[in-house]
Amino acid sequence: MVKKCPLFFFLFSIGFSVARAQLPLHDHDSTYYVTYRDRVTARAYLSRKYTVLRFASAGPFPKFNYSPNTTLNVGIGATYHAFTLNIGIGVNRFNPKEIRGKTRYLDLQGHFYARDWNVDILGEFYKGYYLTPKGYAAPPGEDYYKRPDLELDVFGVAFYKSLNERRFSYQAGLLQNEWQKKSAGAILLGGEIYYGAIRGDSVLVPYILDSNYYKGNINKFHFFEIGPGIGYGYTLVIRQHFFALASGTVNLAFRYSRERSASTGKYGDRFDFTPNDIIHLGVGYNNDNWCLSALWVSTRLNVKGGVSDYRYGITAGNYRLIYAKRFRINRKVRKILEPIPAIIGQ
């Protein structure tokens, strides 16, 4: 877990790409995009990660979210070939006040983009949430109902292959080491697998919001999902330099979930199918030397309870504003970095 300090705290967001492309660097249509994998792409960025827990019922009870009190981070990073390293620092001045409570978390979202494959990895470990909208179930004199005991763990992977890697570049819009010069899109085929757990010292849903759920005393929930997916990605390019990227995938997963009642000790199991989705959005400006972009990545998982029939939703996302610049390297630096393309196959 990462802890807050009086002045600032450190949140390391390390995303290193070890994806392997089966295609040599020249095997693409250079009239559609240009690659800069032989240069070092350096970046500075602002980002905020989050993992939100949603509750909804088929009955007459309101929908609500548990949100974490996460930080705005300032970071730097670099990419060479397909290897990327980013390090971010959360600065207290830019982060929310603790009237929403404290959140301890380790967020290891990784987004790896190769020539023909893209991989999204989740490693979410959160403890400490507050209930939204503001005022829902809040005690007298408080703005938020806070749950410092509420924990959410999710880890898994989604992997999709682009069927038009010769003309469509994920890296141009999301990794900044390529430049998409003409509009193009691609069908995406792949699959996803996830495991998650929600637990609290007391009932997950407050009595004031759903007395029936509260009486069930459900304080633990686990799930496992696996299944195939399909999607589409497209980059609209205007005058070669301005771009807008949109990508969406839908996954039909076989799901096993289990709820536990603390009062009876009984478990409720459920087997069914559920749709999940992943969204990538980006806009910006790109040229031969630098790139300025705003990005958003969101993974949404949907599960149901075996006892309560509640619908649980988990959304893990990341907003990021990036300025990236590409640098040519001399022979000495290239020799130092030589093991990287040899190890990762690019």
**Higher per-residue confidence, 154 vs 60:** 154
pLDDT at 193: 96
pLDDT at 261: 81
- SS3 assignment for 277-335: EEEEEEEEEECCCEEEEEEEEEEEEEEECCCCCCEEEEEEEEEEEEEEEEECCCHHHHH
**Higher per-residue confidence, 262 vs 179:** 179
**Higher per-residue confidence, 215 vs 45:** 45
Q: Which of 1-15, 53-67, 173-187 has the lowest mean pLDDT?
A: 1-15
Q: How confident is the model at residue 61 (pLDDT cuts 50, 70, 90)?
A: confident
Domains of the chain, earliest start first = 8-344 (2.40.128)
248 three-class SS: strand
Percent of the chain with pLDDT over 70: 88
Question: Which of 50-54, 55-59, 68-72: highest mean pLDDT?
Answer: 50-54
pLDDT at 344: 58
pLDDT at 96: 60
- pTM, 2 dp: 0.86
> Which tens digit of pLDDT belongs to each residue from 275-311?
999 999 999 999 999 999 999 999 999 998 877 878 9
> Which tens digit of pLDDT belongs to each residue from 76-108?
999 888 778 888 887 766 666 678 888 999 998
Q: Where are the beta strands (DSSP E) in 145-217?
A: 146-162, 178-180, 184-199
Average pLDDT, the chain: 85
pLDDT at 22 over 70: no
pLDDT at 230: 97
Q: Are 14 and 299 in contact (CB under 8 A)?
A: no
pLDDT at 343: 63
**Higher per-residue confidence, 196 vs 3:** 196
Q: How confident is the model at residue 315 (pLDDT cuts 50, 70, 90)?
A: very high
pLDDT at 5: 38
| Residue whose structure tokens are 């009190």 | 69
Q: Which two tokens stand for residue 123?
A: 């490693």
